[in-house]
Each structure stands twice: as C-alpha cells, then as structure tokens.
Structure 1
C-alpha cells in the first residue's frame, strides 16, 4: 500500500507540465526557423515540407496540451482537496501536516482513504455530501507500506 506525504502532494502536481511547455516552445522555434528559411529560399522545397510537418506537430501537441490542461485542472483541484483533508486531519489529531501520510493523491467516490499518523492508522468516513468526515482508528494486519515522499 502506498502512502503519500504532505510535501509530495504539494510538489508533484505540475512537474510534467514543464516538459510539455518546453516541447511546444522548441516546436514553435523550429516552425519559425524553417518558415524563415523557406521564405529566403523559395526554390528549396524541403524547407516548405519541414515547415508544414513542424506546423502540424505544433497543432497536434497544442491540441493534446489543451486536453491535458483540463485533466490537469481537475487533478489539481482533487489534489488540493486531499491536501486540505490532510490539514484537517492534522488539526483534529494535533500533529503537524508533515507527519500525516495519506493513501491517495486524488479523491473519487470509491476511495477508502487511510491516514497514517504518529498516533496510528485512521480511516476517513465521509458524509454523503462529502463535506465532513469522521476519523475511525483502525489496526492494519500485515501492513506493507511504501512511502512516496518528495
């Protein structure tokens, strides 16, 4: 079972987005460079073809990025909810949020959230509307825990 630290939840939301932005910037620079090169040498058809290929790749990557952006917004929202839950659990148990580990990075309706603290393991039981929760102390038999930390 994987548990995630508070720091991991805060830091690992946007790492892959920088790679996508870097790829888009490189493709746009190549598109401009091949376009300028083609305009200088109109008789050299290979620059025209390269400009078209890079332009299509730019459109494809931007389309994928737009789709990923909506998914990223949902993911950030859900991860933000998980970090808020960690803060609330820490407040209720009177420990620092950095000492609280949780077994999910995103919330969904079927998630059975478990929390590991210095005071033991707890299960979060949510109300029907999902705005409130109750902490139930549990005992894990044979806990095989991997901690994902930043």
Structure 2
C-alpha cells in the first residue's frame, strides 16, 4: 500500500506534465537545428526529412499534452483540496503535517489517513465541510511512503 506525505503532494503532482513540456522544448530545439542545417545545405534532403520527423513528434507530444491537460487539472484541483485536509487533521490532533500520510492523491470519501502508527478511514459529510475519522486496520501492512 502506498501512502503520500504533504510534501509529496506539494511537489510531485505535476511531474508528468513537466516531463512532457521538457520533451516538447527539446524537440523544438532539434527542429530549429535541423531547419538551420536544411537552409544551409538545401541539396541534402536528409535534414528536411529529419525536420519532418521531429515536427511529427512535436505534434504527437503536443496532442498527448492536450489530452492529459484536463485530467491533470482535475487531479491538481483534488490534490490542492487534500493539503488543507492534512493540515486540518494535523491541527486537530496536535501533530506536524509531516507526521500524517494518506493513501490517495485525491480527496475522496474512504481514504486512509495514518498517523501515530494507526490507520483511520475518512468519512466526509455530503457537502464536504467536515469529516469523521474511524479507526481501521489494513490487510497489507507493507507500506511504501512517497516523500
């Protein structure tokens, strides 16, 4: 079972988006380089073909980025709602936020919160403005904590 810290939620949620942006920027630089070589050596068509391949790769990664944008925006919205929940649990139980871990990156009913080596199931009210922690026990005690 994987649990996530507040630090992980703050820093690692947009990692896939950043990787896609870096790949697109590298491909754009490669496209500019091949365009330069093509304009310099017009008779050699290998630079034109390489430029077309790189342009198609840019279109593919750009399309992937556009399709993932809505999903990542929704996930980011959920994770930004999860961090105030972690701070509220820490304040209510007189703990630091780094002592609390959750088993989900989205704020949903039924997530498991772990602190003081005990697990609690979270039940939210219908409008989501309050919560109840119920002591629970997990079947798999092997825990992987993502910092």
**Both structures adopt the same fold (TM-score exceeding 0.5):** yes
- The within-5 A match list for 1:85-96 is 85-96=85-96
Contact 1:3 1:145 in 2 (8 A): no
Contact 1:5 1:98 in 2 (8 A): yes
Structure 2 CA distance for partners of 1:141 and 1:64, relative to 1, 3 Å? closer
Question: Within 2, Cα distance between the matches of 1:78 and 1:27?
Answer: 31
Aligned to 1:129: 127
Q: Deviations over 1:129-150 (max 9, x none)?
A: 22321222x1426551413132
Question: Under a length normalisation based on structure 1, what TM-score does the superposition of the two structures give?
Answer: 0.85
Question: Under a length normalisation based on structure 2, what TM-score does the superposition of the two structures give?
Answer: 0.86
Q: Which runs of 5+ in 1 are unaligned?
A: none
Aligned to 2:4: 4
Q: CA deviation at 1:27?
A: 0.8
1:66 maps onto 2:63 in alignment: no
Q: Count how many residue pairs are aligned between Structure 1 and Structure 2.
A: 147
Q: CA deviation at 1:18?
A: 2.9
Aligned to 2:115: 117
**Structural RMSD (CA):** 2.0
Question: Within 2, Cα distance between the matches of 1:30 and 1:67?
Answer: 24
1:28 maps onto 2:54 in alignment: no
